[in-house]
C-alpha cells in the first residue's frame, strides 16, 4: 500500500463552470492503484471511469470496500455533481435509518428552531477557528443553508464585526473544488475502511509507544482536540506533535517564550508605535485584528469636544495597510530595522540596548518618537509585527516594560493555544526527522500543506517519500494530499462540531450550520480513530468534553446557553497573569550587499489557504489594488535604479509589469514588480500564498510562489538578494489606476491642532468648487418631502482602515459575482462598495487615505433621469432603487453617475449552474444576469425585512434595527446607517457633526451617503517630505 | 417619356444668382436632352452589363457584412463584454458609431428637403443618391442603439407599447427621445425617398424589356401613370414631405446631442451641442456624399449629370459647416481654459489636449479644422482627387470627434479613483467595419437597381423645361458645348 504512486490518471472533468473564467479547467488527479499497474504494466491514463471500472481487480476492491454503493461510485464523474451526491447521501441515510441516529441539536441564537418559517432566516452562533484564537460569528441560515456570516457582538474577538477571511468563509464552504471523497492511494475509499485500518495502526502505535509517529497540525486552540491529542501523547510518549503555519511568526515565541502571550489595549493607549506590525489586518494578527482595529479606531474617534487625540507611529519594512493609517510612518529596510529598534530602545531607557540609525530621517523619527513616548509613560503601546525577529520582539517588550506599559496597556497571559511552538523549528525538526528516516507515520490534520508552504530548503515533498504512512486531512486535495496515502476531506468549520478559544481565553463551541456537504470529518474525528473511542462523532467528542458526560440539567443548560451565545460564559482568562520567560535576543539580520527581501502572508488570500476563494482573489489588495496576483513590491527609487517599469495599459485595469528574477542563497524566483509608495528603498516585499499548483480551479497557477525562495534561514527576511530584470513583462490587474485627488478633494483631512481651530474644515477651503453646494431650495420646483423614513449613511473616514471587510460582506450579502482576472484587466469588477485610496505627499513619505464608496443614493440622482425604461427610480424613502428585471442595459445611468458606483454585467458573470453556489446565495436578493446594471441599494432587503417586522409590531423601525452588510462587517464602526428623519438616530447625529460632508456636493446631487473628514495627529517634530514631482494640487490636503 | 409631355404645374424654380455667372460650370451637361437623360439613367439600371468593379466592390462589402453578422451573433450570445466597454467607459465605439452614422445621414435630408425648399435646383441631380445614403446610414446607425444594449432582445421596451403591466418608457430620458427622433427620421426619409422615386420607377417599368424587370418596377411604381392628377398630387405630397423632413434635419441630431447634454459628465454637459452636432452632421454627411459620388460619376459615366458645379457647391457647404464645427471647438476650449467657471471643465479640456488621448484630439483638429480650410480655394474644390482625399480625412476626423466626446470624456470624469481607459477589441472593429461593408453593399445595390438620379427632376433643369423667360440660359448652354 505504501508504494510510490506510478502516475496520474485523469478522470473526466467535473463539468462545473470555472469560477474565475481564468483557470484552466483542471481535473483532479488521483494515483493509480497497484492493481491497475499490474494489469497494464506501465503508466496508464483513464479515458473514463467506466474504463477504470473494467478492471476486475478494482471492481472487486471497490465492492469489498464499499459493498452497497458501488454503483454510485463508478458513476461517471461528470454526473457526480452535487445533487447526485446528495442523492447518494440520502440513499445512505435511508440504509442507515434502520439504526437509531444520535440526536445532535444545534441551537439558534435568538429564535427557537421550532419556529422555522420558510423564507425567514435564522441566526446561529458559531466561531471561526483562526491561528491564535477564534472569531465569534453569527451565521444566517436560510432554510438550513448558511448564507451570510456576521460577527457575534458578544464575542471578544469580534464585537459584532468580521474581516475578509470570515466573510469569505461562506464561499469556501460551498467551494465545488473542495475535496469530496476519502482517497486511499488515489482511489476512492470510505470512512469505514479508514477507521478499521486506523484501529490496526493504533495498536501498532501503542506497542511502539508512538515511536516514529508524528502529528502535524496548525496551532490549536480547541480544548477538546487538545485534550484528545494530549491523551494520545501521554499514552504514546514517543509520538510527537508538530505545528506549522507558514504565516505564523516565530520571533515572539523565541524572544518571550511559550508561557506568555500579549494582549494589547488599543482602546486606552494614547500613543501607539508599530514596529513593522500590521495589527489591523488578519495577515498579521490572525485572531485579534478585528478587535484591535475596533479598539484602535475607538480611541481615535474625534469630535468637536475632543481635547486630545491618540497618535499612531508606524515604522515598517513594507507598506502595510496598518502603516497607511499611521499619523507618522517611516519605511526602514530590514537590514537597518534592528539597528533602529535598538537605538530606539536605548533612547527609551532599555538597559543594555544599543543600535544605530542609518539615515538622518530615521534619526529625526527616532528622536521625535522617543521623546513623545517618554512623555506618555504607561499610556502607550509598542507592538512588533508577528514576522519580526526575536530581537525586535524582545526590544518591544523591554520598551513596554521601560515605559511602564506592561500592566497598563499591554498584558501578558497564558497562551490560549496548546503547547505554543516555534512553528519554523517544529517543521524543520519534522522534515529533518523524515529525511533521516525516523518517521514511520505522519498524520497531518487540519489542512496543513507543508509541501507547498514549508521552507524550500526542507524539501518537504522528497522527505515525504521516506515516510511509510501518511494521512492527510484537509479541505482540499492539495499538494500535500497528493503525496499522502490517505486523504480525508475535512469538514469546513461551518459543517463542524468543534470548539476553540479566542485570544483572551474565551471558549466557544463551534456548531455546524449544515451537515458536511462532502462527507468531511473534523480533525477530532480523525484523531479519535486512534483512541479508545474510534467511532466518536465530533458532536460526541465536543459535548463529552464540555459536559463531562454529565446529564444534569445544569450542565445541559450551560451547554445550551453556550451554543446559543456562541461562547462559554466567564471563560476568559484574567489578563496580566503571566510573565514572559526570556526577554533577550540578539539581532539576527545580517546586512549584506544587494537587496533585502521581506516575506509576508498575502493580505487577501493569506498563506495560500484561500487561494481558491474567488471573492478573496478579486478583492483588491488594500494598498496596491491588485487582484488575482502577487507581485514583488519595490520602491520608486529602486525601480528607477533597476530600470523597472509598470506601465498602465489602455484596457482600463491592466498594468504591464516588468518581470525580475530574484535570487537569494541559490534559490530564485521570477516575479512581476509593483512600484509602491512608502516602500523602503532596496527592499522587495514578496507575498506568500500564490503559485499554488493544487489549490483548485480558481487558485491554480495564479501569481508566483514566493515560498520557493523562502528558506529556514531566510524565513521572514533575507538580505543580499540579487535582482535581475528579465526583459519580459506580465499583466497585472488593478482596480484603481489613479491615486491622487486632483484638487477634487474627495477626502478632506486636517491635523488635530488645526481641527480644533477650524471645526468646519471640510466645508471651508478657499478656491474649491465644493464650497458651492447648491441648496435644495434653489430649485425651480419645490423639494420632495420625505415624510416617512429617509435612509442615510455616514462613513467616518477617520475610522476606515481600508481592510476590505465591507467589500466582501457586500459580495456575500448581495450575490455579487466574481468576474475573473481577464475582466478586472478590463476594469469590469462588480463590487458595489469599493475602497478608494488616495496618496498625498512624496512617494517615499505618502499620506494614505481610504474612502469606501457605496452608492450615494442621491436625492437628485443623475442616473434616474437618463434611464429610458425607468429601471432605476427613487423610492419614497430616498433609496435609489434598481429594478433588475426592467433593465435593458443602456449603461447611460453608469455614464451619468459621477461616483461611478454602478456595475454592469458585461458578460454572464454569475454562475447559474454550479449547484453549490445556488445554495450559497442570499435568497432575498435577485441574481442578476448579463446585460443588467446593478448597484448598492443600502441592502434594501434588510430594510424591507425590518419594516415588515415593525409594521407587524405597529411601530416605527428603531435605530439599529437595520444594519447594512457593510456596516455590520466593519471592524471600526466607520459605517453607520439609519433614518435621518429620526433626529435621535446615530446617523442623524453624525450628519450634524461638523466633519460631515458630501462627496461632489457641488453637482447638486444631494447624496444620502456622506463622509466624516479625516483628522490626523502627526508629530509636529517630524517634517513631511514634499515631493516636487507631484503637482501642487495633489499636496493641498 | 410620356410623363413629361403632360407637364403639370411645376414648382418653378428661380434660378440661382450664381447660375447666371458664366464662369461657373452649369449644373447639367450641354449634351443632355430629355431623351439622353432618360437613356443615360435608365440604361444603367436596365441595359448595362454589371461592371467588374461592381462585383469586386460588392464582394468586399459583403465580406465585411458577414463579419458584422458574425460579430453580432457572438454579441447576442455573449454580451457587450466582447467589446472594450468597461467601467467607467460605458459607451465607446457603439455610440460613437451611432452618432457618426446618424450624422452621415443628415446630408441626404439636407440636400433633398432643405435645398428643395430653398429652390436650389442643382440639388436635383444628387438628391436621390444622397437620400439613399441617408437611408442606409440611418440603418447602420439604428443598429447600434439596439446592439449596445445589455439585453438587446428587450429593445422594444423603449417604445411606448401598451402593456398589461402599465409600464411606460421614462420620458425624461434622452434615449427615449432618440427612439422617437431616429424612428421618425427613418420613416420619413424612407417615405420621401421612395415617393420621389415613383415617377422614375414608372419610367423604368415602361422601358424595361425583361419580364422580371417589368414585374419588379411595375410593382414598385405603384401604378404610376403620369397623369396630370398624379403629378399634381405627387408634387403636393413631395412638397409636404419636404416640409416635414426639414425640421428633422435639425431635430434629429439635436436630440442625439441631448443624450450627452443632459448628462452631467464633463465634456457632455454643454449647451452648445445641438447646433454643433447638426453642423458636424451636415459636414460629415456632405463629405461622405462626395466620397461616394466622385468615383460613382466617373464609373457610371454621368459627369454631365453630376457636374463640377455640384462638386464645387458641396465643397462650399462643407467649408461652411466645417467652420461652424471649428468654431465649436474654439468655444469649448475657451469655456474650459479662458473662462474657467468650472474646474472639471477646465480639467476636461486639459485632458483632451494633453492627456493620454491627446493624439486623438490633435488629429481631429487637424482633420476637422485645418483640412476644410483648403476648401477656400476653388482649384481644390474642383480637383476631385484632392477633394476625395479631403472628404475621407474629414470623416475620420468626425468619427474621432464623436469618440473624443463620448468615450474620452468618460475615461476621466469626477472621482480620480474611478478614472479609466478604453481600448477596442476585435469585435468593436468588426462591428464598425461591418456596418461600413453593409452600407457599401446597400449603396451598390441601389446604384445597380434604382435610378440613382431623378430623371424627371433632372429634366426640369433643361432649358426646354423652362420655355418662358429663361431662354438666354438655354442659349448659353448650347453655346458652351465643349465643357
Lowest mean pLDDT, pick from A236-245, A489-498, B8-17, B414-423? B8-17
Say if residue B477's pLDDT is above 60. Answer: no
Closest Cβ opposite residue A899 in set B150, B176, B415: B415
Q: How confident is the model at residue A17 (pLDDT cuts 50, 70, 90)?
A: very low
Residue B41 has what pLDDT? 84
Residue B438 has what pLDDT? 96
**Model pLDDT for residues A121-163, shown as the tens digit of each residue:** 889 999 999 988 899 999 999 888 999 999 999 999 999 999 9
Residue A352 has what pLDDT? 85
Residue A260 has what pLDDT? 86
Closest Cβ opposite residue A888 in set B87, B151, B417: B151
Residue B10 has what pLDDT? 39
- What is the C-alpha to C-alpha distance for residues B28 and B30, in angstroms, rounded to an integer? 6
Residue B167 has what pLDDT? 87
Shortest distance, CA A895 to any CA of chain B (angstroms): 6
- What is the C-alpha to C-alpha distance for residues A676 and A644, in angstroms, rounded to an integer? 12
Q: How confident is the model at residue B122 (pLDDT cuts 50, 70, 90)?
A: confident
ipTM: 0.89
Say if residue A253's pLDDT is above 80. Answer: yes
Residue A107 has what pLDDT? 62
Q: How confident is the model at residue A102 (pLDDT cuts 50, 70, 90)?
A: low
Number of separate domains in chain B: 1
Q: How confident is the model at residue B3 (pLDDT cuts 50, 70, 90)?
A: very low
Three-state SS annotation for A232-275: HHHHCCCCEEEECCCCCCCHHHHHHCCCCEEEECHHHCCEEEEE
**Contact predicate A504/A477, CB 8 Å:** no
**How far, in Å, are A14, A85, A183 from residue A75 at the CA level?**
12, 11, 16
Residue A20 has what pLDDT? 40
Q: Scanning every residue of chain B, which has its alpha carbon at the shortest distance from the alpha carbon of A836?
A: B417
Q: Scanning every residue of chain B, which has its alpha carbon at the shortest distance from the alpha carbon of A745?
A: B415
**Model pLDDT for residues A930-961, shown as the tens digit of each residue:** 999 999 999 999 999 999 999 999 999 999 89
**Model pLDDT for residues A340-355, shown as the tens digit of each residue:** 999 999 999 888 888 8
- What is the C-alpha to C-alpha distance for residues A728 and B97, in angstroms, rounded to an integer? 37
Q: How confident is the model at residue A507 (pLDDT cuts 50, 70, 90)?
A: very high
**Model pLDDT for residues B137-172, shown as the tens digit of each residue:** 999 999 999 999 999 999 999 999 888 888 899 999
Closest Cβ opposite residue B155 in set A886, A888, A900: A888
CATH code at B103?
A: 1.20.1630.10
- B123 versus B427: the higher-pLDDT residue is B427
Nearest to A861 by CA among A1034, A1028, A1023, A1007: A1007
Mean pLDDT of B79-105: 92
Decide if B270 is inside a domain. yes
- A867 versus A576: the higher-pLDDT residue is A867
Decide if B475 is inside a domain. no
**Model pLDDT for residues A368-391, shown as the tens digit of each residue:** 999 999 999 999 999 999 899 999
Shortest distance, CA A621 to any CA of chain B (angstroms): 15
Inter-chain contact A869–B421, Cβ cutoff 8 Å?
no
**Model pLDDT for residues B440-454, shown as the tens digit of each residue:** 999 999 988 888 888
Q: Scanning every residue of chain B, which has its alpha carbon at the shortest distance from the alpha carbon of A871?
A: B170
Residue A32 has what pLDDT? 35
Residue B467 has what pLDDT? 63
Mean pLDDT of B291-311: 85
Decide if B481 is inside a domain. no
- What is the C-alpha to C-alpha distance for residues A263 and A1005, in angstroms, rounded to an integer? 46
Inter-chain contact B413–A867, Cβ cutoff 8 Å?
no
Chain B residues with CB-CB distance to A653 below 8 A: 86, 420
Say if residue A62's pLDDT is above 80. Answer: no
> What domains, with CATH codes, occur in chain A?
8-96 (no CATH), 183-248+419-549 (3.40.50.740), 261-413 (3.40.228.10), 595-734 (2.40.40.20), 749-1016 (3.30.70.20)
Say if residue B428's pLDDT is above 90. Answer: yes
Q: How confident is the model at residue A303 (pLDDT cuts 50, 70, 90)?
A: confident
Q: Indicate the burial class of B209 (C-beta count within 10 angstroms; 0-12, 13-18, 19 or more).
A: exposed
Residue A84 has what pLDDT? 53
**Contact predicate B27/B314, CB 8 Å:** no
Quickly list DSSP for A742-811.
TT--SS-EEEHHHHHH-TTTTT--TT-GGG----GGGSSSPPPP--S--EEEEEETTT-----HHHHHHH
Chain A residues with CB-CB distance to B410 below 8 A: 895
Decide if B472 is inside a domain. no
Mutation site, A21, A895, A900, A1009, interface B, largest B CB count within 10 A = A895
Q: Strand ranges (DSSP E) for B32-136?
A: none
Instruction: Give the total residue count for chain B.
Output: 483
Q: How confident is the model at residue A113 (pLDDT cuts 50, 70, 90)?
A: low
Residue A21 has what pLDDT? 38
Decide if B474 is inside a domain. no
User: Which of the 8 DSSP states describes residue A185?
Assistant: T
Shortest distance, CA A900 to any CA of chain B (angstroms): 7
Decide if B36 is inside a domain. yes
Decide if B420 is inside a domain. yes
**Model pLDDT for residues A706-729, shown as the tens digit of each residue:** 999 999 999 999 999 999 998 899
Residue A1032 has what pLDDT? 38
CA B141 to chain centre: 11
Residue B370 has what pLDDT? 92
Decide if B480 is inside a domain. no
**Model pLDDT for residues A457-499, shown as the tens digit of each residue:** 999 999 999 998 899 999 999 999 999 999 999 999 999 999 9
Q: How confident is the model at residue B123 (pLDDT cuts 50, 70, 90)?
A: confident
Report residue B483 as a C-alpha cell: 465643357
Lowest mean pLDDT, pick from A94-103, A292-301, A698-707? A94-103
Inter-chain contact A652–B89, Cβ cutoff 8 Å?
yes
Mean pLDDT of B203-224: 90
Mean pLDDT of A803-821: 93
Q: How confident is the model at residue B24 (pLDDT cuts 50, 70, 90)?
A: low
Inter-chain contact B167–A870, Cβ cutoff 8 Å?
yes
Residue A796 has what pLDDT? 94
Chain A residues with CB-CB distance to B89 below 8 A: 652
Residue A900 has what pLDDT? 93
**Mean pLDDT, chain B, integer:** 85
Residue B402 has what pLDDT? 92
Q: Scanning every residue of chain B, which has its alpha carbon at the shortest distance from the alpha carbon of A767?
A: B343
Residue B480 has what pLDDT? 40
Say if residue B471's pLDDT is above 90. Answer: no
Residue B165 has what pLDDT? 81
Tell me phi and psi for residue A31, to 5 degrees.
-85, 150
The enclosing H or E element of A396 equals: helix A390-402
Inter-chain contact B154–A908, Cβ cutoff 8 Å?
no
Residue A979 has what pLDDT? 94
Nearest to A793 by CA among A971, A1014, A965: A965
Q: Scanning every residue of chain B, which has its alpha carbon at the shortest distance from the alpha carbon of A888?
A: B151
Q: How confident is the model at residue A101 (pLDDT cuts 50, 70, 90)?
A: low
Chain A residues with CB-CB distance to B264 below 8 A: 862, 896, 898, 1003
Shortest distance, CA A924 to any CA of chain B (angstroms): 23
Residue A115 has what pLDDT? 61
For CA atoms A545, A549, A555, A557, give the dihedral sign. positive
Lowest mean pLDDT, pick from A221-235, A642-656, A772-786, B264-278? A772-786
Establish, for the pair of chains A and B, how many residue pairs have beta carbons separated by less than 8 Å.
195
Chain A residues with CB-CB distance to B81 below 8 A: 823, 826, 828, 906-907, 930
Say if residue A56's pLDDT is above 60. Answer: no
Say if residue A743's pLDDT is above 80. Answer: no
**Mean pLDDT, chain A, integer:** 85
Which residue range(s) make up the domain with B249? 2-465
**Model pLDDT for residues A581-640, shown as the tens digit of each residue:** 766 788 888 888 899 999 999 999 999 999 999 999 999 999 889 999 999 999 988 999
Report residue A228 as a C-alpha cell: 484528545
Q: What dihedral angle (degrees, nearest 10) is formed by the CA atoms of A572, A574, A575, A581? A: -110
Amino acid at each position: 500500500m505504501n508504494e510510490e504512486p506510478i502516475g496520474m490518471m485523469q478522470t473526466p472533468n467535473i463539468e462545473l463552470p470555472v469560477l474565475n473564467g481564468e483557470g484552466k479547467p483542471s481535473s483532479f488527479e488521483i494515483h493509480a492503484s497497484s492493481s491497475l499497474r499490474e494489469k497494464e504494466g506501465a503508466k496508464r491514463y483513464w479515458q473514463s471511469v467506466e474504463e477504470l471500472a473494467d478492471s476486475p481487480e478494482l471492481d472487486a476492491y471497490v465492492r469489498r470496500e464499499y459493498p452497497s454503493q458501488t454503483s454510485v461510485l463508478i458513476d461517471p464523474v461528470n454526473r457526480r455533481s452535487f445533487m447526485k451526491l446528495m442523492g447518494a447521501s440520502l440513499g445512505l441515510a435511508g440504509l442507515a435509518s434502520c439504526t437509531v441516529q444520535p440526536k445532535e441539536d444545534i441551537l439558534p441564537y435568538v429564535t427557537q428552531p421550532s419556529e422555522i418559517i420558510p423564507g425567514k432566516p435564522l441566526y446561529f452562533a458559531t466561531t471561526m477557528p483562526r491561528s491564535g484564537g477564534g472569531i465569534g460569528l453569527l451565521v444566517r441560515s436560510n432554510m438550513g443553508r448558511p448564507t451570510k456570516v456576521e460577527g457575534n457582538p458578544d464575542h471578544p474577538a469580534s464585537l459584532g464585526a468580521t474581516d475578509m477571511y470570515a466573510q469569505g468563509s461562506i464561499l469556501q464552504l460551498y467551494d465545488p473544488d473542495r475535496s469530496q471523497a476519502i482517497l486511499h492511494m488515489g482511489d476512492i475509499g470510505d470512512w469505514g475502511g479508514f477507521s478499521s485500518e486506523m484501529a490496526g495502526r493504533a495498536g501498532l502505535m501503542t506497542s511502539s509507544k508512538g515511536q516514529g509517529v508524528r502529528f502535524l497540525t496548525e496551532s490549536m486552540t480547541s480544548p477538546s482536540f487538545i485534550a484528545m491529542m494530549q491523551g494520545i501523547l501521554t499514552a504514546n510518549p514517543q509520538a510527537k506533535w508538530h505545528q506549522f503555519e507558514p504565516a505564523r511568526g516565530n520571533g515572539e515565541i523565541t524572544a518571550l517564550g511559550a508561557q506568555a502571550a500579549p494582549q494589547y489595549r488599543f482602546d486606552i493607549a494614547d500613543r501607539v508605535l508599530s514596529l513593522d506590525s500590521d495589527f489591523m489586518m488578519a495577515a498579521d494578527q490572525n485572531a485579534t485584528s478585528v478587535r484591535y482595529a475596533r479598539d484602535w479606531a475607538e480611541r481615535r474617534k474625534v469630535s468637536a469636544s475632543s481635547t486630545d487625540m491618540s497618535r499612531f507611529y508606524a515604522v515598517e519594512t513594507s507598506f502595510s495597510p496598518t502603516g497607511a493609517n499611521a499619523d507618522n510612518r517611516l519605511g526602514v529596510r530590514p537590514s537597518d530595522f534592528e539597528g533602529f529598534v535598538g537605538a530606539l530602545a536605548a533612547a527609551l531607557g532599555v538597559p543594555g540596548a544599543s543600535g544605530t540609525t542609518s539615515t538622518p530621517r530615521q534619526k529625526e523619527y527616532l528622536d521625535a518618537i522617543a521623546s513623545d513616548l517618554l512623555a506618555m509613560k504607561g499610556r502607550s503601546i509598542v507592538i512588533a509585527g508577528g514576522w519580526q525577529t526575536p530581537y525586535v520582539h524582545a526590544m518591544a517588550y523591554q520598551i513596554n516594560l521601560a515605559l511602564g506599559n506592561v500592566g497598563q496597556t499591554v498584558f501578558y497571559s497564558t497562551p490560549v493555544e496548546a503547547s505554543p511552538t516555534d512553528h519554523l523549528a517544529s517543521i524543520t525538526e519534522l522534515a529533518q526527522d523524515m529525511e533521516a528516516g525516523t518517521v514511520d507515520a505522519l498524520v497531518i490534520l487540519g489542512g496543513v500543506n507543508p509541501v507547498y508552504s514549508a521552507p524550500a530548503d526542507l524539501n518537504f515533498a522528497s522527505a515525504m517519500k521516506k515516510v511509510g504512512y501518511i494521512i492527510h486531512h484537509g479541505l482540499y486535495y492539495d499538494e500535500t494530499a497528493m503525496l499522502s496515502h490517505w486523504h480525508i476531506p475535512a469538514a469546513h468549520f461551518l459543517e463542524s462540531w468543534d470548539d476553540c478559544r479566542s485570544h483572551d481565553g474565551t471558549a466557544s463551541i463551534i456548531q455546524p450550520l449544515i451537515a458536511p456537504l462532502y462527507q468531511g470529518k473534523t480533525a477530532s474525528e480523525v484523531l479519535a480513530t486512534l483512541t479508545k473511542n474510534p467511532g466518536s462523532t465530533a458532536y460526541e467528542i465536543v459535548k463529552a468534553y464540555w459536559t463531562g458526560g454529565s446529564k444534569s440539567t445544569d450542565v445541559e443548560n450551560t451547554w445550551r446557553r453556550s451554543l446559543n451565545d456562541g461562547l462559554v460564559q466567564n471563560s476568559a482568562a484574567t489578563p496580566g497573569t503571566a510573565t514572559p520567560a526570556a526577554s533577550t535576543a540578539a539581532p539576527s539580520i545580517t546586512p549584506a550587499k544587494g537587496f533585502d527581501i521581506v516575506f509576508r502572508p498575502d493580505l487577501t488570500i493569506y498563506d495560500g489557504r484561500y487561494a481558491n476563494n474567488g471573492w478573496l482573489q478579486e478583492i483588491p489588495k488594500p494598498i496596491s489594488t491588485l487582484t488575482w496576483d502577487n507581485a514583488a513590491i519595490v520602491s520608486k527609487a529602486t525601480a528607477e535604479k533597476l530600470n523597472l517599469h509598470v506601465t498602465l495599459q489602455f484596457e482600463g485595469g491592466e498594468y504591464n509589469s516588468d518581470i525580475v528574477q530574484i535570487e537569494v542563497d541559490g534559490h530564485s524566483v521570477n516575479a512581476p514588480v509593483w512600484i509602491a509608495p512608502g516602500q523602503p528603498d532596496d527592499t522587495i516585499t514578496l507575498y506568500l500564498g500564490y503559485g499554488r499548483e493544487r489549490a483548485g480551479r480558481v487558485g491554480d497557477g495564479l501569481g508566483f510562489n514566493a515560498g520557493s525562495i523562502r528558506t529556514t534561514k531566510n524565513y521572514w527576511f533575507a538580505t543580499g538578494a540579487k535582482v535581475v530584470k528579465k526583459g519580459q513583462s506580465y499583466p497585472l490587474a488593478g482596480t484603481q489606476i489613479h491615486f491622487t485627488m486632483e484638487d477634487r478633494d474627495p477626502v478632506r483631512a486636517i491635523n488635530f491642532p488645526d481641527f480644533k481651530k477650524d471645526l468646519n474644515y471640510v466645508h471651508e477651503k478657499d478656491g474649491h468648487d465644493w464650497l458651492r453646494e447648491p441648496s435644495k431650495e434653489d430649485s425651480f420646483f419645490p423639494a420632495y418631502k420625505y415624510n416617512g423614513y429617509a435612509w442615510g449613511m455616514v462613513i467616518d473616514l477617520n475610522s476606515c482602515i481600508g481592510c476590505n471587510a465591507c467589500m466582501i460582506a457586500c459580495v456575500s450579502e448581495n450575490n455579487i459575482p466574481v468576474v475573473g482576472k481577464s475582466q478586472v484587466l478590463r476594469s469590469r469588477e462588480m463590487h458595489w462598495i469599493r475602497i478608494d485610496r488616495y496618496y498625498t505627499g512624496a512617494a517615499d513619505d505618502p499620506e494614505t487615505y481610504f474612502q469606501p464608496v457605496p452608492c450615494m443614493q442621491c436625492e437628485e440622482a443623475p442616473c434616474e433621469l437618463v434611464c429610458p425604461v425607468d429601471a432605476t427610480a427613487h423610492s419614497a424613502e430616498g433609496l435609489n432603487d434598481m429594478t433588475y428585471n426592467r433593465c435593458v442595459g443602456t449603461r447611460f445611468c453608469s455614464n451619468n453617475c459621477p461616483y461611478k458606483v454602478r456595475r454592469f454585467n458585461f458578460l454572464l458573470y454569475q454562475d447559474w449552474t454550479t449547484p453549490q453556489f445556488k445554495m450559497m446565495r442570499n435568497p432575498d436578493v435577485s441574481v442578476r444576469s448579463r446585460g443588467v446594471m446593478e448597484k448598492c441599494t443600502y441592502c434594501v432587503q434588510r430594510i424591507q425585512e425590518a419594516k415588515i417586522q415593525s409594521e407587524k409590531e405597529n411601530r416605527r423601525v428603531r435605530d439599529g434595527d437595520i444594519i447594512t452588510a457593510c456596516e455590520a462587517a466593519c471592524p471600526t464602526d466607520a459605517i453607520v446607517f439609519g433614518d435621518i428623519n429620526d433626529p435621535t438616530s446615530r446617523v442623524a447625529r453624525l450628519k450634524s457633526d461638523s466633519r460631515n460632508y458630501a462627496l461632489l456636493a457641488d453637482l447638486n446631487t444631494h447624496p444620502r451617503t456622506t463622509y466624516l473628514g479625516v483628522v490626523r495627529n502627526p508629530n509636529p517634530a517630524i517634517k513631511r517630505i514634499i515631493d516636487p514631482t507631484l503637482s501642487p494640487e495633489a499636496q493641498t490636503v | 417619356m410620356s410623363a413629361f409631355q403632360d407637364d403639370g404645374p411645376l414648382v418653378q424654380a428661380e434660378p440661382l444668382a450664381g447660375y447666371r455667372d458664366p464662369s461657373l460650370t452649369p449644373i447639367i451637361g450641354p449634351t443632355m436632352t430629355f431623351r439622353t437623360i432618360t437613356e443615360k439613367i435608365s440604361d444603367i439600371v436596365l441595359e448595362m452589363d454589371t461592371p467588374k468593379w461592381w462585383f469586386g466592390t460588392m464582394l468586399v462589402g459583403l465580406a465585411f457584412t458577414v463579419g458584422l453578422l458574425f460579430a453580432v451573433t457572438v454579441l447576442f450570445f455573449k454580451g457587450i463584454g466582447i467589446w472594450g466597454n468597461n467601467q467607467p467607459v460605458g459607451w465607446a465605439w457603439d455610440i460613437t458609431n451611432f452618432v457618426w452614422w446618424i450624422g452621415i445621414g443628415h446630408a441626404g435630408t439636407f440636400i433633398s428637403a432643405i435645398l428643395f425648399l430653398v429652390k436650389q435646383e442643382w440639388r436635383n441631380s444628387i438628391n436621390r443618391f444622397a437620400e439613399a445614403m441617408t437611408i442606409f446610414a440611418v440603418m447602420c446607425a439604428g443598429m447600434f442603439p439596439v446592439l449596445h444594449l445589455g439585453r438587446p432582445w428587450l429593445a422594444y421596451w423603449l417604445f411606448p407599447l401598451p402593456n398589461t403591466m402599465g409600464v411606460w418608457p421614462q420620458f425624461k430620458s434622452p434615449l427615449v427621445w432618440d427612439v422617437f427622433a431616429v424612428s421618425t427620421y427613418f420613416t420619413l426619409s424612407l417615405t420621401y425617398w421612395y415617393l420621389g422615386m415613383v415617377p422614375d420607377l414608372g419610367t423604368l417599368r415602361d422601358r424595361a424589356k425583361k419580364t422580371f424587370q417589368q414585374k419588379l418596377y411595375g410593382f414598385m411604381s405603384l401604378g404610376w401613370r403620369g397623369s396630370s392628377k398624379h403629378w399634381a398630387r405627387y408634387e403636393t405630397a413631395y412638397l409636404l414631405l419636404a416640409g416635414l423632413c426639414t425640421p428633422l434635419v435639425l431635430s434629429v441630431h439635436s436630440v442625439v446631442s441631448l443624450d450627452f447634454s443632459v448628462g452631467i459628465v464633463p465634456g457632455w454637459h454643454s449647451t452648445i451641442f445641438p447646433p454643433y452636432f447638426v453642423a458636424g452632421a451636415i459636414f460629415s454627411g456632405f463629405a461622405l456624399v462626395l466620397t461616394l459620388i466622385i468615383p460613382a460619376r466617373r464609373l457610371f459615366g454621368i459627369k454631365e449629370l453630376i457636374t463640377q458645379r455640384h462638386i464645387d457647391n458641396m465643397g462650399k457647404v462643407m467649408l461652411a459647416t466645417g467652420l461652424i464645427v471649428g468654431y465649436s471647438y474654439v468655444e469649448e476650449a475657451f469655456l474650459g481654459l479662458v473662462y474657467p467657471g468650472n474646474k472639471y471643465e477646465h480639467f476636461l479640456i486639459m485632458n483632451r489636449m494633453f492627456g493620454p488621448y491627446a493624439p486623438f484630439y490633435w488629429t481631429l483638429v487637424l482633420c476637422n479644422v485645418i483640412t476644410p480650410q483648403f476648401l477656400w480655394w476653388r482649384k481644390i474644390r474642383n480637383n476631385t482627387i484632392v477633394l476625395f482625399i479631403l472628404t475621407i480625412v474629414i470623416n475620420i476626423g468626425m468619427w474621432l470627434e464623436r469618440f473624443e466626446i463620448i468615450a474620452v470624456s468618460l475615461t476621466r470624469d469626477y472621482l480620480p479613483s474611478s478614472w479609466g481607459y478604453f481600448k477596442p477589441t476585435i469585435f468593436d472593429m468588426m462591428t464598425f467595419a461591418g456596418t461600413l461593408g453593409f452600407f457599401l453593399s446597400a449603396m451598390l445595390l441601389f446604384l445597380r437597381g434604382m435610378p440613382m438620379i431623378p430623371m424627371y427632376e433632372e429634366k426640369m433643369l433643361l432649358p426646354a423645361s423652362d420655355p418662358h423667360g429663361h431662354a438666354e440660359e438655354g442659349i448659353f448652354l448650347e453655346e458652351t458645348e465643349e465643357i
